[in-house]
Amino acid sequence: MTTPPWLKTGDKVGLVAPASYVKAEELARFLAILDSWGLKAKLGKNLYRRKNSFAGNDDQRAADFQQMLDDPSVKAVLCARGGYGTIRIIDRLNFSGFSRNPKWIIGCSDITVMHTLIQKTLNTESLHAIMPRHITEGKKDLSSLESLKNALFGNLNSYVIKPVKNNRQGEASGILVGGNLSVLYSMRGTKLDIDTSGKILFIEDVGEYLYHIDRMIMNLNTGGKLKNLSGLIVGGMTGMKVSVSGFRKTANDVIYDAVEEYHFPVMFGFPAGHIRPNMALIMGREVTMHVEEKECKLNFRLIR
């Protein structure tokens, strides 16, 4: 995998909204944070547009993203929010400039589309991390931002978390792939269908009916996406809903049951996704996961 250059003081970061719309007041705090890090923000021309639920129409959102991909002075492209709409602009983008000058693409949720494309077709790392619209005043968000800063400046090496129920102990290494489960499910059978063989898969989701989680994880399982994993990391599974049908297994129990027949390590409760904190993950990076009785570790391969 290609590692984009680490950021340094004075570098320029592009802000775009490839999916749902965002308001200027929602980004003010993050723009101040970027400035405190010594980074300069370049705002997409159409950043604050709105077309129905989208941040402008498909052409406008694609134009902003393309501008940031092609500008060699922009060292990272940060997605202001997720929502829905990234898949609608993928085929409008030309990544030839990105290939010549790789840069960090940053976001989560709907931005899972970008992470998968960049890893699968461009063999380049990207960052699953907190997005500007989601930042609040809380201490947990400060942890999220610190992890994003460490990742961008080349200082993110490892995480240690407490073990939780359903973990399966063991150690595994592999390329880190994945993101939002619903988005991964929506790309099944397309050119963006995720490759999981020998990989460590990260999944998270929010606001789904529990039987939807079962349907999606069973789709991955029957499609052979789970049996050849090196390891599985489960992030936030928050705001889950119980349907009138009475399906009441928790999301973690659904996932545990789906992988029970396999032998790779499983780490539940990783602090990433639609939760606070939402710690940065280097997607496409080789990682090693250790799931033990007293603690769990995720180590990123060091890049000099």
Enumerate the active-site residues: 109, 204, 274
Q: List Cα–Cα distances, 86 to 20, 34, 55, 92, 193, in angstroms.
A: 9, 24, 10, 11, 15
- Give 89's DSSP letter: T
- φ/ψ of 163, rounded to 5, equals -70, 150
**Is residue 277 reached through a cis peptide bond, with omega within 30 degrees of 0 on the bond before it?**
yes
Sorted by sequence, the CB contacts under 8 Å of residue 210 that are 6+ apart come out as: 240, 241, 242, 243, 247, 248, 249, 250, 251, 254
Helix, strand, coil percent values for the chain (each to nearest 5): 30, 25, 45
Q: Where are the alpha helices (DSSP H) in the chain?
A: 24-36, 58-70, 96-100, 112-122, 139-152, 181-186, 210-222, 251-259
- φ/ψ of 205, rounded to 5, equals -165, 170
The 40-43 sheet, strands edge to edge:
40-43, 12-16, 74-79, 104-107, 126-128, 281-283
- Provide the terminal-to-terminal Cα distance of the chain, rounded to the nearest Å: 14
Tokens of 184: 């991964």
- Give 199's DSSP letter: P
Do the bridges between strand 158-161 and strand 281-283 make them parallel or antiparallel, or are there none, so unpaired? unpaired
Q: How far apart are CA 191 and CA 88, in angstroms?
A: 14
